[in-house]
Structure 1
Amino acid sequence: MTLLAANCENDPVDVLVGDWMSEFNMTARAGSKVNGQLDAYEPTFLEALEPSLPAISKYRIKVAVNAGASDTQKLHEVVTEMVKSKGMDLSVAWISGDEVLPQLVEAQKKGESPFKNICTGEKLDDWQFEPIFAQAYLGGLGIARAFEKGADIVICGRVSDASPVIGAAYWWHKWQRSELDKLANAFVAGHLSECSSYSTGGNYTGFKDFECLGWENIGYPIVEIAHSGEVILTKNKGSGGEVSVNTLTSQLLYEIQGPWYFNSDVTAILDNISFDHISGNRVALRGVKGALPPPTTKVGITAKPIYQAEMHWFITGLDVTAKARMMEHQIRTIMAAHIYKFLHLSFQTIGSVPENPSSQNAATVDFRVIAQARRAEDLAPDKFIRPCIDPIMCTYPGATPHLDLRQAFPKEVYEYYVTLLPQSAISHQVHLSSGEVITIPPPPQTRTYPNRQPTQDMTTNSVPLSAFGATVRAPLGTIVHARSGDKGSDCNVGFWVRHQDEYAWLQNLLSMEFIKHLLADEYKGGRIERCEFPRLRAVHFLLKDHLDRGVSCTLTVDFLGKNCAEYLRAREVDVPLRFLARGRL
């Protein structure tokens, strides 16, 4: 924040927005709020805000963030006191309404909805965990109203990631709720900028191309939103990295669920979305259309904590599978008397040994034992650590445990459940520094959408793969970009290419059946939805319930779903030689 605010005179910015929330933060801060042990807001926001306040005050820059997490009013009080202590004339407002457990429990008692999990289809009545906190995703119009009433800084809890940008644009341009195309463009602009450096080269499969530009400072995205709703994306001056069609395609495909992108204020229709390189690090957003928002909004429910412990061994060289099998058998035997008390127990071999390895590290893999239980005492040292370590003298050759045992002691983790709540059940309010409270009504018009996104098993632009000429076996990622991410236990993954003739090949290669083949042992039979974005040269898949319960409590190491794309890019396919001749990624 300081970097952007302090350079405002040379690189103007009107509003600073920040997204501090994720599904992991939501569960962790919810736990803090319920047990009262820690402040339940995001403290790193204060580290960013305090040094930037002089420039914010000098240049009259507005600020909107969702760093309130589960304690928005408390963070408002802290920020208000910070501003006051510095003698600054800045008005601080806060947004309430995202905490919705009472409404949800009451509606459940009345049988108003089964509150199905939008990832798994499970009904809330059948969920085996006890809810302790629930947060709804709010839109951006409360932020807009706060700015309109003179607020300089607006502190929010669980507004959607893009809501600060929607609110800023709505206020600045004095838009109306009926201007759906404008709102949709601001919504997508918010999505493209909310993940910080992801739009300037972070997590981008073409990262090697801009090593010469500087990996150490790849910059922050800036969105320019016109009254017409037109959007141009750029980045702060003097930074490395890049803003390009490819970096923006990467970020766009990261969290969407298909061609319909939902928000409390608007639905963005993405069928014809594209990016147009203007000059340098300036790229225009094109083709986004707006539609009515849904009558519901997403709600994340945090459950009473369970407990988790994990232990690691190193396996080196030959016979990795047999060594892992031996260790698992021995640990299970020792745990047998109390293993029934575990909710989950998993033995995982992470990595593989190449042929003729050139170093011992290259020949070493991680054998991971991870367990979860309802009570901490069920994972006490005599029930978990000792059974994991005791085979050391009688197990596989070279048996070496990790000596840092801190993860082997039980820690709290939180189950997370994602459902929908009517927007009409939410009390969305703005709290101004004057004490005035303003209620933001739900959208006056909404549209109910089908439960599933539009999907197609294969492309309608059918071309035989043989038509692309001679091929060679090579990793998919030699010519194909990809990006993946998590939403609850769903994983989305998008693939795109650099040239139009490559796209015809990609469309025909990546059928529903072929993605199952690529997933190989990772495919567990779940539903997959597929769509195409022709103007991005992209094919997108939504892997339903693929991520083992989501980031807060997953047993997997890919807890954010980001490495699904990297795994799939490493899988070998028949790549046309003429495409490889253009150069590899």
Structure 2
Amino acid sequence: MVGNRPIRIAGCSGSTTDRRDAMRLLASNYENDPIDVFAGDWMSEGNMTVRAGSKINGQMDAYEPTFLEALEPALPCIAKYRIKVAVNAGASDTEKLHKVVQKMVKGRGLNLNVAWISGDEVLPQLLESQRRGESPFENICTGEILGDWKFEPMYAQAYLGGLGIAAAFEKGADIVVCGRVSDASPVIGAAYWWHKWNRSDVDKLANAFVAGHLSECSSYSTGGNFTGFQHLESLGWENIGFPIVEISNSGEVIVTKNAGSGGEVSVDTLTSQFLYEIQGPWYYNSDVTAILDNISFEHISANRIALRGVKGALPPPTTKVGITAKPLYQAEMHWFITGLDVHAKARMAETQVRILLGNHINNFAHLEFQILGSVPDNPTNQNAATVDLRIIAQARKAEDLAPAKFVRPCIDPIMCAYPGATPHLDLRQAFPKEVYEYYVTLIPQSKLLHRAHLQSGESIDIPPPSNTKTYPKQQPTQDVTANIRDLSSFGATVRAPLGTIVHARSGDKGSDCNVGFWVRYQDEYAWLQNLLSVQFMKDLLAEEYKGGRVERFEFPGLKAVHFLLRDHLDRGVSCTLSVDFLGKNCAEYLRCRQVDIPLVFIARGRI
């Protein structure tokens, strides 16, 4: 059946902490709802750094063990129905994970062929290229040069494409474990293998690439992290489903979900996932570039949505590489502040703590006092009237955050502090832990040693693409819309939260934060285009705007306006001081900001 019908690929994991039962659930229902391939994403910039540290210090396995928890109960059905599996759970020790999976399969007495992919570990090539002066290795988020980075690289992983996975499947592999392939690469590789595509089939590859993006975060496409979540309660939000992408030989994509599950697949849920993590209208992968200017979604039937308008172009000659540095150390301590005069109380606590820290404060690389939350007018319970004062510090040496040097100075003012001063009694976070600085740059694909390793012992080299295109460093951006209308032309307005009628979604890529907004109707979109200029976005961010570059692009087919906030996230998930370490709450903050909304739109009801 390979190639004679659309391939059905299920997104069965979006992170190391996704629900473990997906593969077993989907595989056991194969006869009612057949799946050809399980594609799972276990990698993020956060665990890239943590697993890098694990591999370097050798204290624990550097692959993702939650993959094994998901795989083992599903193995009998995977073997029975010959479902293929492609995942990036190898993290920083793919070969070891391959051996563990082989042993697990053998222990179950199953006939499954297990392969693994190498080539993502690139620190030697990167350092040699730097030594030769072949590239400055500019940070794609901050513009910094690697030679000026104040940290020592200890590990580097490049983002591989999907053709190693395709080669392994072609040679009979049933399960392919990878390290840092891109999130969408398992879907690209599976579709490439199934349909026997060529590298020149860029439109087909681009559609598979976007299909992979839509399914890579599992339930984010079926109602998870969706600003229209409230209506999902009646659709079973306790059992939100997993996305299934159906990709035809021509590259056409239909997105659906597993039978009998809750949540929904709709134009809005897919728009939400699409706008998450993109950087503009050019979407890069090692195998292809997707051109997104004209993207749209078409409702076919309940929980069946077609992807439209994606075009393909040649891949860039480079691919992204994440560099992990030797660790910093972090500790934090919390106080509770209740009722009136929150900022004055916090100021008193900060002054007293800084005095007790004394000159030792100079040994901290970072120190912040953060007020989390606010007290409403006339609160009706004490919890609502309580905020969290978070004291967080980072230092180059663990001993600089030892209890006598951090937590004691933070807690000792208890008897001379603000009224009601109450420290959090769980001090486990107040002891130093490792965090890792992370640097994002590009490396030529020609430097990679991309290779598929088969169970037979044979290996297959995957050459870099022979035809590539070098793209401008900056994505297209427009500070204001080209379809200018006076905002007063939309009629009388009322002051209300932006999120009353506007959906939004945000996320992280390194220290960059992207946030996309979209609406229901075309007249609302004309208003949104004119409202959301770059300057208005800076004003909307208010105290959160730190002076970085803001890039803006419109997706008319989605009725969406997308922003890229350059270097907005304090160094990224691995070491940020922010509680919004994934950038996902930037959109929720902006949706609660009040703007002037036309009454005619409000009358249609909330989203």
TM class by shorter-chain length?
Answer: over 0.9
Write out per-residue CA displacement over residues 218-247 of structure 1, whole angstroms, 9 at most, x where no aligned residue.
Answer: 110000000000000000000000000000
Residue among 302, 306, 330 paired with 1:280: 302
Secondary structure of 2:117 counterpart: strand
Distance 1:423 1:157 in 2: 16
Distance 1:235 1:244 in 2: 10
Which residue in 2 is equivalent to 1:225? Answer: 247
Q: How does 1:35-50 map to 2 (within 5 A)?
A: 35-50=57-72
Write out per-residue CA displacement over residues 50-88 of structure 1, whole angstroms, 9 at most, x where no aligned residue.
Answer: 000000000000000000000000000000111111111
TM-score normalised by structure 1 residue count:
1.00
Q: How does 1:240-251 map to 2 (within 5 A)?
A: 240-251=262-273
Residue among 557, 579, 582 paired with 2:601: 579
Distance 1:415 1:7 in 2: 43
Q: Does 1:550 align with 2:572?
A: yes
Q: Does 1:480 align with 2:499?
A: no
Write out per-residue CA displacement over residues 182-208 of structure 1, whole angstroms, 9 at most, x where no aligned residue.
Answer: 000000000000001000000000000
Distance 1:17 1:2 in 2: 13
Q: How does 1:248-267 map to 2 (within 5 A)?
A: 248-267=270-289
Distance 1:300 1:460 in 2: 36
Residue among 40, 46, 50 paired with 1:24: 46
Matching residue's letter, 2:169 = F
RMSD: 0.4
Q: How does 1:44-63 map to 2 (within 5 A)?
A: 44-63=66-85
Residue among 198, 218, 228 paired with 1:206: 228
Which residue in 2 is equivalent to 1:527? Answer: 549
Residue among 128, 138, 141 paired with 1:106: 128
Residue among 308, 313, 327 paired with 2:335: 313
Which residue in 1 is equivalent to 2:531? Answer: 509
The Cα shift of 1:215 comes to 1.3
Which residue in 2 is equivalent to 1:143? Answer: 165
Q: Return structure 1 stretches of 4+ with deviation > 6 angstroms.
A: none
Which residue in 2 is equivalent to 1:390? Answer: 412
The Cα shift of 1:404 comes to 0.1
Residue among 465, 485, 490 paired with 1:443: 465
Residue among 177, 181, 189 paired with 2:199: 177
Distance 2:581 2:282 in 1: 25
Distance 2:332 2:339 in 1: 23
Provide structure 1 residue ranges, at least 5 long, that are not aligned to the other structure: none
Paired residues in the alignment total 585
Which residue in 2 is equivalent to 1:430? Answer: 452
The Cα shift of 1:337 comes to 2.0
Secondary structure of 2:425 counterpart: coil
Distance 2:409 2:468 in 1: 56
Write out per-residue CA displacement over residues 472-508 of structure 1, whole angstroms, 9 at most, x where no aligned residue.
Answer: 0000000000000000000000000011100000000
Matching residue's letter, 1:125 = G
Residue among 162, 166, 182 paired with 2:184: 162
Distance 1:365 1:463 in 2: 42
Which residue in 1 is equivalent to 2:258? Answer: 236
Secondary structure of 1:337 counterpart: helix
Which residue in 1 is equivalent to 2:15? Answer: none
Secondary structure of 2:312 counterpart: strand
Distance 1:300 1:551 in 2: 12
Which residue in 2 is equivalent to 1:97? Answer: 119
Matching residue's letter, 1:269 = I
Write out per-residue CA displacement over residues 70-127 of structure 1, whole angstroms, 9 at most, x where no aligned residue.
Answer: 0000000000111111111111000000000000000000111110110000000111
Write out per-residue CA displacement over residues 355-400 of structure 1, whole angstroms, 9 at most, x where no aligned residue.
Answer: 1111111110000000000111000011100100010000100000
Write out per-residue CA displacement over residues 422-444 of structure 1, whole angstroms, 9 at most, x where no aligned residue.
Answer: 00000000000010011000001
Which residue in 1 is equivalent to 2:559? Answer: 537
Identity of aligned pairs, percent?
80
Secondary structure of 2:78 counterpart: helix
Q: Does 1:33 align with 2:55?
A: yes
Distance 1:388 1:64 in 2: 48
The Cα shift of 1:210 comes to 1.3
Distance 1:151 1:178 in 2: 24
Which residue in 2 is equivalent to 1:294? Answer: 316
Q: How does 1:395-410 map to 2 (within 5 A)?
A: 395-410=417-432
Distance 1:440 1:299 in 2: 18
Residue among 50, 58, 68 paired with 2:90: 68
Which residue in 1 is equivalent to 2:395? Answer: 373
Distance 1:336 1:583 in 2: 55
Matching residue's letter, 1:231 = V
The Cα shift of 1:467 comes to 0.4
Distance 2:480 2:466 in 1: 38
Matching residue's letter, 1:273 = I
Q: How does 1:75-86 map to 2 (within 5 A)?
A: 75-86=97-108
The Cα shift of 1:323 comes to 0.4
Matching residue's letter, 2:133 = G
Q: Does 1:322 align with 2:344?
A: yes
Which residue in 1 is equivalent to 2:378? Answer: 356
Which residue in 2 is equivalent to 1:4? Answer: 26
TM-score normalised by structure 2 residue count:
0.96
Matching residue's letter, 1:315 = I
Write out per-residue CA displacement over residues 302-357 of structure 1, whole angstroms, 9 at most, x where no aligned residue.
Answer: 00011000000000000001000000011001112211000000000011011111
Matching residue's letter, 2:154 = I
Matching residue's letter, 1:406 = R
Write out per-residue CA displacement over residues 21-55 of structure 1, whole angstroms, 9 at most, x where no aligned residue.
Answer: 00011000000000000000000000000000000
The Cα shift of 1:209 comes to 1.0
Distance 1:490 1:419 in 2: 13
Distance 1:529 1:45 in 2: 37
